[in-house]
Structure 1
Amino acid sequence: MAIPRKMNLGNDLVFSAGAFVVGAVEQVQDWEAAPLPDGTRPQKIDKETGLPTWTVPVLDADPEAGKNDKTVNVKILAKHQPVPPANDTGLPFVPVVFTNLVGVPWIDDSGNRPKLMWSLTATGMEAPGARKPAAGTTSKAAA
C-alpha cells in the first residue's frame, strides 16, 4: 500500500470552523542533540528542509471538538520566527490560517486506550482572507 507518511491536509480540512493563535510562537527544542554549554537545547532543524522548527498553540473553533482536542500545537518550518497576523477583530485570540498544512498520524499509547493523533506542520501563517487570487483568476466578490 502506497499511502504517504505525510498527508497534505490543508487548513480548511483541519480547522473547518476556524483556528486562533492562543499563545507565543516558540522554538522547538531538539532533544536528540547534545545540550549547549549553558544547559539549554538547540533548536530543532527539520531534516527534509533544513529549516528551523517553531511551535504555536492553536485553539480549534470546531464546537464538536472534544475538550482534549480543542487546543493543538502546530509546528511551523521557517528560517525566521513566524509572527502571528495582526489582530484587528477585538477578540482575545488571533484568527489564523496555516499555509501548506501537513499532517503525520501517530499512535498515542500513553493512556488506557491507544488513539490516533496528528502531528501538524505548516510553512507559515496568515490572517484569514489574506490569500490573493492567482494571476488570471477572479474572486467571487469581483465576479
Structure 2
Amino acid sequence: MDKVVDFDRIREEDNQARDENGVRLWVVKVMDQDPEAGKFGRSTEVKVKIAADHQPVPPPGIKLPGGITVTPVGFTDMTVTPYTDAMGCKGERKPHKCRARQAWSIRAGALVAPDAVESPAAVSAAA
C-alpha cells in the first residue's frame, strides 16, 4: 500500500494526491489469481486506487507451505474507467505507427477481507 503522489506538488512536504472531494488517494498492487488473466503475455498485477483519509490496512495474511504468505483481499464499490494511454504514441509524420493502447483506471471504495464482499449472485437474490 502506497500513497498516490501528486506530481504537480512534488516539491511540497505533503504531496499526496487527493480525489475531487479532497480525500487522500492510496494505491494497492494486487495479483489476479484467475488463470485467464495472464493470457497473451498480460500482467496479472493490477493497481487499485482507494480514497481514504487514513492508509487502509489489509486483512491478515495466510501462510502457505514453503513459507510464503499471501493476503487475499476484496474491494467494495468498484469503478473501472477506460482511457487511452498515448505514452507510446510518438510519431510526428503522417501516417505514423502509434502504439497507444486502451488502459483502465480501477478505483475502489474500500479494501476489505474477501468474505466481507457480497457476491453478485447474493446481491441480485436480495433485490
By relative contact order (CA 8 Å, sep 6+), the higher-ranking structure is: 1
TM-score by length of 2: 0.71
Task: Report the Cα distance in structure 1 between the residues aligned to 2:44 and 2:117, rounded to whole angstroms.
Answer: 25
Select which of 17, 21, 33 maps to 2:9. Answer: 33
Select which of 77, 95, 103 maps to 2:51. Answer: 77
Structure with more helix by fraction: 2
Unaligned runs of 5+ in 1: 1-24, 133-139
Secondary structure of residue in 2 paired with 1:50: coil
Task: Report the Cα distance in structure 1 between the residues aligned to 2:29 and 2:114, rounded to whole angstroms.
Answer: 17
**Highest CA radius of gyration, 1 or 2?**
2
Residue in 1 that maps onto 2:109: 123
Residue in 2 that maps onto 1:95: 72
Task: Report the Cα distance in structure 1 between the residues aligned to 2:23 and 2:109, rounded to whole angstroms.
Answer: 10
Distance 1:128 1:109, change over 3 A: same
The alignment's C-alpha RMSD in Å is 2.4
Asked if the contact 1:29/1:41 (under 8 Å) is kept, the reply is: no
Asked if the contact 1:30/1:41 (under 8 Å) is kept, the reply is: no
Aligned residues: percent identity?
37
Supply the AA of the counterpart residue of 2:62. D
Asked if the contact 1:31/1:41 (under 8 Å) is kept, the reply is: no
Unaligned runs of 5+ in 2: 89-97, 119-124
